[in-house]
Structure 1
Amino acid sequence: MSVYAKENPGFLTESIESMLNQTIKTDDFVIVKDGELTAELDNIIEKYYFLNPNIFNIISLSENLGLGKALDIGINHCKNELVARMDSDDISLPIRCELQLNEFEKDPELCIVGTNISEFYDNVDNIVSERVVPSSNEEIIKFMRRRSPFNHPTVMMKKSKVIQVGGYGVMKRKQDLDLFSRMINNNCKAKNIPNSLLLFRSNEDNFIRRKSWSYCSSYISVQYQILMRKHCTIIDFLYVLVGQLFIYLAPMWLLKKISNKFLRKLK
């Protein structure tokens, strides 16, 4: 888990608690403080470390490096081969890690196991949509050519395989898409459990963020790198290029309508 100064302290507490309350307990909870935090955030992290000094490993960075670099540093400090990702404002269901560990036990060749997510507004009782991702390795490989086949906060990955392909790399945004592409195209077998095992905190700001030129151009840049590695075709790249330009230029009402109809399963 990476934490930076603008995190909501209440959300961070809920997120940490959801991982501590898994049906299979962790013996290694790595939190990377990505730059200087607020006193309130520091107090929360220090409290958990004080209560669980044998579980928590707190890595403090002197400056904010961004999510990708912070996660790469965190992964290198993980002592277990299987590493579960978690965002600092989402909530994992209690059985999430157990079900993912079961998949790795059933198929030792797996390198990535993710899940679907349920998106909620304001409180966990207000589920508004579900992001369903492809389940099988074959479906994931095909889907990967144009969109990320994983919900990033849900993935559990083999540490050695992440490091082998270069980790999250240097991209400032969409680092997860770039990482997943390199893993899948280096014969890392993957699967998604076809159940929502994480509650994803969403709001109107997510649409605003997706419409920013910074977000859209980053998506195009990552897809271009995927094209250069010959992991997609020029048609796939143009599909993403046109799609991101449309998202940037389209009015917000139209973007929401299309997103709800084609990219999310509404509740």
Structure 2
Amino acid sequence: MSVYIKEKPEYLDRALKSILIDQTLKPAEVVIVEDGPISEELKKIIEKYKKDFTEIIKSIKIKENKGLGDALNIGLKKSSYDIVARMDTDDIALPNRFEKQFNFFIKNDFDVVGTNIIEFENNENNIIGYKNVPETHNEIVKYSKKRNPINHPSVMFKKESVLKSGNYEKMLGFEDYYLWVRMIMKGYKFYNIQEPLLKFRTGKEMIKRRGSLKYFKNEKNFFKNLSKIGYLNYFEYLKTIIMRFFFRIFPDNMRLIFYNKILRTKK
């Protein structure tokens, strides 16, 4: 987990409760990376859980805010175990998440295992949709040519496979997507459990933030990199960029409708 100053203490509290208390399979270690100085309120939440889970929580402090990619890169290197789960500080893991993913790892030969997710706004019981992702490795590879095939906050992976692929790298807004592509190119195997095992906090503000030319600039840079490393041919790159450009300049209400009707499902 990576936490920075702008995050809400009550969200962090709920996220930590969902992984430290509510899980049917408890984690052996929780690595929390403080990405730059954080508020006293956030510190109090972390200290509260460290008091009760002294042997489990490993807290790492970075002096300056470096961003998600660098924070996760550092956190993964400090992780003690071979299988690592990702978690965002404002999401909620369902109680059986770790057990189902871990058991899947034990019984199958995969390097990255994600899940579908439930999306909610404000109240965790206010479900606004489900984000489903392709199941099999071949489907995931095909899907990755145009969209991120893994719900990042839901993922569990083999530490060694990620490190051998170069770990998280700076790619503003697309650190995880860039990692999956590099892992696919190295021959690592992916799978998505076709069941929602995480509640993802979303809302209109997040969708609005994805409607700016600034966001498109980062997007274009990312897909240009995929073309440079040979993952996309020029036609695939151009097609993706054109489609995404028009999507980013849609009015907010049109983009919201598109998200709800096309990119998300009701179950």
Question: How high is the TM-score relative to the length of structure 1?
Answer: 0.97
The alpha carbon displacement at 1:234 in A equals: 2.0
Alpha-carbon distance between aligned partners in 1 of 2:127 and 2:30, rounded to the nearest angstrom: 28
Residues 177 and 222, structure 1, Cα contact 8 Å, conserved in 2: no
Q: Which moved more, 1:225-234 or 1:85-94?
A: 225-234
**Does the 8 Å CA contact 2:212/2:249 hold for their aligned counterparts?**
no
2:26 maps to 25
Matched residue type, 2:143: F
Report how far residue 243 of structure 1 moved: 2.2
Structure 1 position 143, deviation (Å): 0.5
Deviates more, 1:204-213 or 1:60-69: 204-213
- Asked if the contact 1:213–1:248 (Cα under 8 Å) also holds between the matched residues in 2, the reply is yes
CA distance in 2, matches of 1:65, 1:19: 25
- Match of residue 206 from structure 2: 206
Map residues 6-17 of structure 1 onto 2, 5 A cutoff. 6-17=6-17
Per the TM alignment, residue 137 of structure 1 is displaced from its structure 2 partner at its CA by 0.6
Structure 1 residue 265 displacement after superposition: 0.7
Alignment check: 8 A CA contact 2:204 2:256 kept: no
- 1:132 counterpart = 2:123: no
Task: Find the counterpart in structure 2 of residue 46 from structure 1.
Answer: 47
Once the two structures are TM-superposed, the CA of residue 214 in structure 1 deviates from its matched residue by: 2.7
Matched, 1:197 2:167: no
**CA distance in structure 1 between the aligned counterparts of 2:214 and 2:25, rounded to whole angstroms:** 39
Q: Is contact 1:90-1:199 (8 Å) kept?
A: yes
Which secondary structure does the structure 1 equivalent of 2:44 belong to?
helix
TM-fit CA distance, 1:78: 0.4
Counterpart position of 2:86? 85
Counterpart code for 2:59: I
Measure the CA separation in 2 of the matches of 1:266 and 1:112: 26
Task: Please report how far the alpha carbon of residue 247 of structure 1 lies from its aligned counterpart in structure 2 after TM superposition.
Answer: 2.3
Structure 2 residue matching 1:200: 3-state secondary structure = strand
Deviations 1:70-112 (A, max 9, x none): 00000000000111000000000010111111111111x3100
Find the counterpart in structure 1 of residue 123 from structure 2. Answer: 123
Are residues 1:75 and 2:72 paired? no
Residues 231-263 of structure 1: CA distance to partner in whole angstroms, max 9, x if unpaired? 122232122211221122111121112222221
RMSD of aligned Cα (Å)? 1.1
CA distance, structure 2, for counterparts of residue 218 and residue 97 of structure 1: 32
1:223-238 to 2 correspondences below 5 Å: 223-238=223-238
Distance in 1 between residues matched to 2:162 and 2:216, nearest whole Å: 25
SS at match of 1:157: strand
Instruction: Work out the CA distance in 1 between the residues paired with 2:235 and 2:254.
Output: 24
Deviation digits for residues 124-154 of structure 1 (CA, Å, limit 9, x no counterpart): 2111111010000110011111111000000
Are 2:106 and 1:105 equivalent residues in the alignment?
yes
Q: How many Å separate the matches in 2 of 1:256 and 1:235? A: 28
Instruction: Specify every segment of 5 or more residues in structure 2 that has no aligned partner in the other structure, as ranges.
Output: none
Aligned to 1:265, the other structure's residue is in SS state: coil
Q: CA deviation at 1:9?
A: 0.4
Q: Which runs of 5+ in 1 are unaligned?
A: none
Amino acid at match of 1:83: V
Cα shift readout 1:206-226 (whole Å, capped 9, x = no counterpart): 111111223222122111111
Partner residue in 2 for 1:253: 253
Count residues with an aligned counterpart. 266
How many percent identity over aligned positions?
39
The answer on whether the counterparts of 1:210 and 1:247 sit within 8 Å (CA) in structure 2 is: no
TM-score, normalised relative to structure 2: 0.97
Shifted more, 218-227 versus 22-31: the winner is 218-227
CA distance in 2, matches of 1:236, 1:102: 37
Residue 96 in structure 1 maps to residue 97 in structure 2: yes
Structure 2 Cα separation of the partners of residues 236 and 263 of structure 1? 20
| Distance (Å, rounded) in 1 between the aligned partners of 2:197 and 2:239 | 30
Aligned to 1:181: 181
